Copies of this chain bind each other. A is one copy, B any other.
Amino acid sequence: MAKAPRANAVVGQSGGPTGVINESLVGVIKQARKHDEIENLYGAIHGVAGIAGGDFIDLYGLSENRLKEVAKSPSAALGSSRDKPDERYCERILDVLRRRNIRYFFYIGGNDSANTANIVNLMAAKAGYELRAFHIPKTVDNDLLVTDHCPGYGTAARFVACALMGDDLDNRALPGIKIDVIMGRHAGFLAAAAVLARQREDDGPHLVYLPERAISLERLLGDIEAVYRKLGRCVIAVSEGICDADQKAWAQKLSVVQEIDSHGNIQLSGTAALADFLAASVKSKLGVKRVRADTFGYLQRSFAPVRSKVDVHEAAGCGAEAVRQAMSKGGGSIAIRRVANKPKYVSEFFLTELAAVAAGSKTMPDEFINAAGNGVTDAFMEYARPLVGKLPKTVYLGNGRRV
């Protein structure tokens, strides 16, 4: 590889924000400042739309204190985008990069963003324009290929675990059946994290349903009834993308699909109807009076007070690593390798091909899902626990010795 050119760099954020996507941004800024090769670092406003339109702000001018505030802020500080650049769009991008002498392109996002970075890199190579395009991973769904896990997941998973922790105690206080619908269109990692809430033998969530395992309404109701008959209550964590026995997503059957974005992603986050449908089904079929359902919605990716320490650290690290790699490589996606899990979690970053990450998405491996398809395994717990971090201890006195 040729020596890193002295030129400008641009960084953008893409797709649904996470609680730590700004940590990755600040990771890029801080590391870029250390390299004379990067003369100016531009922030593209609203991702590729900002690059194509030359809509940039200067990121070197931000004070240390300001950077700290940015890193801690939820959502995407540069604005985000769901645009999927076609050839014409990419030509405009390349044109702007050329005019601005931008030779480094850092794009923080999911697999669609890896794909965009890959296309722009290939087009630049074809045009004989030296460009180094890097993808920095982020997603609350944890569904990127190659990497052990994704920045953004640990923080969203911590939110979900804390939510279930409180919700299960609420359900003990006023017993009944509670259904919580959790983000995850195709991958159940986030809903699965609900199990980390458990502290006592009979704590919920008692059942977890994932998009990876189709479930008929009949079986689902049967599972709930069994728990309810035993404990007098039942808390259920459900991925928004769960499928009926015919493999069709329940949310789609209920016609609550709101739209399909330019990447072909089906938007299921407005799945309140799924929660209401499940609650109504439980109520009418099982004859239980107190049935409630909540859909956690955007809080899962935007609620600022809850973050995972490991996630914060790794998100910033992925940003910095992309800049370091850009000094000697022509492009790629940053991935995380788990070096050790117990007693101390240790991870390291490595570079993978953009095309490998762009190629598709990941779902929960079989060894993380129980045989009945209504819960997770210890292997998943061990996988997820260090990413989420230690949770506060809770107490319920109602099981205490009677006097």
Residues of B within 8 A of A173 (CB): 13, 17, 46, 75-76, 79-80
B302-A305 in contact (CB<8A): no
Enumerate A264-314 residues with CB–CB distance to B below 8 Å: 269-270, 272-273, 275-276, 279, 289-299, 301-306
Enumerate A24-45 residues with CB–CB distance to B below 8 Å: 40, 42-43, 45
Residues of B within 8 A of A174 (CB): 16-17, 79-82
The interface centre, meaning the residue of A162, A173, A290 with most chain B CB atoms within 10 A of its CB, is A173
Residues of B within 8 A of A276 (CB): 256, 270, 272-273
Enumerate A342-389 residues with CB–CB distance to B below 8 Å: none
A89 within 8 A of B: no
| In the bound complex, CA of A167 to CA of B73 (Å) | 11
Q: A295-B294, A398-B79, A403-B57 are in contact. Are A301 and B170 (CB under 8 A)?
A: yes
Q: A173-B17, A272-B272, A279-B270 are in contact. Are A395 and B77 (CB under 8 A)?
A: yes
Q: A57-B402, A77-B395, A293-B272 are in contact. Are A303 and B42 (CB under 8 A)?
A: no
Return the contact of A166 from the options B46, B56, B275, B303 (Cβ within 8 A).
B303
A128 within 8 A of B: no
Residues of B within 8 A of A401 (CB): 57-58
| In the bound complex, CA of A275 to CA of B295 (Å) | 11
| In the bound complex, CA of A43 to CA of B306 (Å) | 32
Which residue of chain B has its CB nearest to the CB of A59? B397
Q: Smallest distance from the beta carbon of A67 to chain B beta carbons, Å? A: 9
A66 within 8 A of B: yes
Which residue of chain B has its CB nearest to the CB of A25? B397
Return the contact of A272 from the options B45, B74, B275 (Cβ within 8 A).
B275
B303-A298 in contact (CB<8A): no
A73-B395 in contact (CB<8A): yes
A166-B397 in contact (CB<8A): no
One complex includes copies of this chain to the number of 2
B275-A397 in contact (CB<8A): no
A87 within 8 A of B: no
A70 within 8 A of B: yes
A17-B298 in contact (CB<8A): no
| In the bound complex, CA of A78 to CA of B400 (Å) | 9
A394 within 8 A of B: yes
Return the contact of A170 from the options B75, B82, B290 (Cβ within 8 A).
B75
Enumerate A157-216 residues with CB–CB distance to B below 8 Å: 162-163, 165-167, 169-170, 172-174, 178
What are 8 A-B interface contacts by the 8 Å CB criterion? Answer: A66-B395, A80-B174, A166-B299, A166-B302, A256-B276, A294-B295, A294-B298, A305-B306
Q: Please give the residue numbers on chain A whose beta carbons come within 8 Å of chain B beta carbons, in ascending order.
A: 13, 16-17, 40, 42-43, 45-46, 55-58, 66, 69-70, 72-82, 162-163, 165-167, 169-170, 172-174, 178, 256, 258-259, 269-270, 272-273, 275-276, 279, 289-299, 301-306, 392-398, 400-403
Given contacts A166-B302, A270-B293, A296-B299, 18 further A-B contacts (CB under 8 A): A17-B173, A45-B398, A57-B401, A73-B395, A76-B173, A163-B302, A166-B304, A167-B299, A259-B289, A259-B290, A270-B279, A273-B276, A294-B297, A294-B298, A295-B295, A304-B392, A304-B394, A305-B392
